[in-house]
Structure 1
């Protein structure tokens, strides 16, 4: 009787288990089936979403966070304009799973979007460093090396080529070893991508360091290593780009142009605007060196078009604008010369902004953490850790001192800027048109009243008409203009302006430049050389020194503070 009562219950349990197992197998087949249907599409091909959306809905209905995460990662690959949205969804799903590897992978993917699709290095670095926190203790070596690779790219961009090269050497060794293992074809595919891209980055470092023999060796290995399939067309493009730069350095300009032409289609197809602009620049240089200057300029202009659209440029390509400025100066085209001068100012601003932010964070949030981790491990293993601990502490202290000095200097600049604003608002720089000098009996000057009054009127008109902006102005020239002698004019200026002629002119010019920079947005776009010239000074250095002496702040800092003040006000 007992046996008969239990048998139906056991049967029901077995039936339920079978159903669950079959459902599990079916769902796994469904996930794999969906991926198989769209995996043949090219990157950014929106047609894939017919199946990706079904994949997402199935994973949501089954509350399967790991599959939902994978679905969102696939959505990133095939989405054209919403990659960041799907990256955020992937991170959110990963956090629900509480799987640190998935969370790290999510942040890494988002960083890669900022890097590759937008070239926002600052935002990319934020994501890489967050990923690093989640992945540093991970057993998934592929993810750790993938993140390490991206941090190496940041170091390379900053110009720390030797440090970046060490990272890429580690990545090359790791990824190459996994391409020869008995692993699933998808795993081998991903590691082969990692290996080829690490080789490409190592070549970039060697080229920047001028080690052309090393470049030649790596190119000889890289070329035959790239599979001749469309899946690796971008890697082949990077190879041709690197080969072109190598030919350029060897003065084989015609061969370089052929390599660049073969490199461009794949770069443009995936909108890799950074390396496309790099290719255009070296293609332009190649044409210029072959004596085809017009074709060179045509390519330099393409670099500018990319910069205008994306507001990003590699530091190495700054010379692109110097080439254009020189060309139009030679062609006597001041309009184009001024345009590209302003563009160069914008380029410097973008590069400067990236470098200040990235160099601080790469050392503070990555290198310093690595030093501390190394220190902790060494302390546990041997006494040699004490020496490294001291070195680490010294490095950290030095970095801290540098940061302290920078912050202190910024505070001083801010204080001087605030004081200058008070002077401006209190009308310490009166409008020459409404200031009229009058004869004053209290002044200690032994000249006829009519002479003094005439000179005071001349001085007022001189200021009102901004004649002080004339270059090469001297006391003698001004006296001749006023139809008087230098002795009379010098006495009047000394008594009524309270200073000598040279200081009087410099104050007028600096006050003029200060007002223009403060009120006129176009002036804030000009170079310091241009502002100095427009204010009557013969050179930048003299202008900067006198501006600092009178206003307590350098003109470049005054411009930056004014721009930041206006941007903050708009926000």
Structure 2
């Protein structure tokens, strides 16, 4: 990751060629300057031109273009991976917007800034920016940008595994179009995009009929407008669905047709296209072709450190391709890279079922190990049988020993937890997690009265047990206590020493611990029902946070509580 001292760079070392071009730049409009600056994801970032743009806007006292320059600088900083500088520049942008009442421009800029964070893999930051922009769109009643924001928010929710919420958001985007003032052509484009995102989510859910239904609707609308590059993305999605249905030749034809319609516009576009084609060839057992395309995709793209978490599918496919072509060394290399991406992947998509990932890794390792043994070792059937039996016995003994150790540890943890419950007052919390890394370390910039109102509001919501609702999130809580998510986050961080999500999880788990101990009927519920009762959508999420706070699985805790009765 590259970090530049941008302020020093911009104010001291402005390149000579900018002065040489000054006369020609002065004749250009702001639109022409923006064209020169170009798309940050495709070329070297022109901080010099952005600085010139800002100076021109100041000289001409053009408020809207001064705002645009600030927004461009933030976007460029994100694309250049200077996230601290970008974050520090956001509040001045908001203040400038508020001072000059630039609500419409702010929404558009926040969308672009969120997009920049999104493409850098910072999904949490992107989501915060999108939600902030969404609140503003409701004030200025801009349906067009609101539709784009909903699709981005839905895509993030889908990418972290929250498919139900993603589908709800996409359907909301379609409902919005029915009430919008879009022109006929714009309306068809917007609908096609909503159908495309719906298809992607159904494809992730392996609901192939629904995925095909929506991508066909998107393609039908796009054929009318004859947008070849938009058609390219839809055809690729169609090919992925055909791959799921083992329609391999149709998938290959659609991918090649997509390439002819509109060639990849960037390295990232090439990465996805080559990977899709490589996956088809892998399914067709044309392993050499698959290996060539997927390896070319990674070589061309040159994956950066912060992007490793998104590369798991690529490394897994490449490991398989090399395995089938007999290059065990390279297969092992990419398998190792795939294993390393699992941890990064789980940080980005925190609701993904980690156990399935790890199991998939183990299965692949065992398969590869078997191939290596068949290739390199010539042992008799009896030796294999003896070795296998020995391993099984050792594993069984190991599992048995681990079981008894874990059982004893869990019983000790339960006793300690029970003692803590008995010695804890009503005003105290049984578990009080502290986060080592806080999103906002200080709330000094918040007026004391505002800070006090936020804490009082949180206390009232605690008393009303609002945290038990599944829609309890920072956005809804902030709205209920008449503040914004930024202030809410800072106050929670500084007062409680934890991030907002940790704060809510602590409240839920404390509630669950006490109620399970005291309520016989509640103990008879299924884990899924208990999870829903205390605000979680899934039993997995509830169990994860319960164990994180207590060291115990909820099922073990319930069983031990029942034994006391």
TM-score of the aligned structures, taking structure 2 as reference length: 0.50
Which protein shows a greater Rg?
A: 1
TM-score of the aligned structures, taking structure 1 as reference length: 0.49
